[in-house]
A = this chain, B = another copy of it.
């Protein structure tokens, strides 16, 4: 047996490209003086899309582990990019929202992400990229 080629294995190549993209985005953030890590920018974006989520909702919205969200939020709160507010009704919940500083950061992060994406998708058409993303989303659906 063993007709298995690592380079033909989507699970392997996806891992590689995810790591490369993360590195590139961190570099770009550093260059542009955006003081967040690649993993956190998705949280900030989600909160901009929809403020008032609690942590569980944010974890689901980003397909991430809940414990990991807690720790990311601690960092983001320390940087005063988000706020966690207790609301009367249920004292377990922490309602999440961007601070003004957090909101101001979003367009700069978006610019960095687009920069990186442009480099990554060089030589690909818009249609290809869109199709590619549809496939990924189908796979995400399959595993969720």
Tell me the complex Cα distance, A117–B6, Å.
12
Tell me the complex Cα distance, A119–B138, Å.
11
Q: Is the beta-carbon distance between A120 and B10 smaller than 8 angstroms?
A: yes
Instruction: Give the copy number.
Output: 2
Tell me the complex Cα distance, A51–B116, Å.
35
With A14-B136, A123-B138, A138-B124 as contacts: A6 and B63 at CB distance below 8 Å: no
For A122, list chain B residues within 8 Å (CB). Answer: 142
Contact with B along A44-55 (1 / 0, CB 8 A): 011001000000
| Cβ-closest chain B residue relative to A132 | B135
With A117-B10, A121-B10 as contacts: A20 and B136 at CB distance below 8 Å: no
Tell me the complex Cα distance, A144–B9, Å.
19
| Cβ-closest chain B residue relative to A22 | B15
Q: Is the beta-carbon distance between A15 and B15 smaller than 8 angstroms?
A: no
For A63, list chain B residues within 8 Å (CB). Answer: 16, 19-20
Does any Cβ of B come within 8 Å of A1's Cβ? yes
For A16, list chain B residues within 8 Å (CB). Answer: 62-63, 136, 140
Of the A-B pairs whose beta carbons lie under 8 Å apart in the complex, a sample of 17, sorted by A's number, is A7-B137, A11-B113, A11-B117, A12-B42, A14-B14, A16-B63, A16-B136, A17-B139, A18-B18, A19-B63, A20-B140, A20-B143, A20-B144, A24-B143, A120-B143, A124-B135, A124-B139
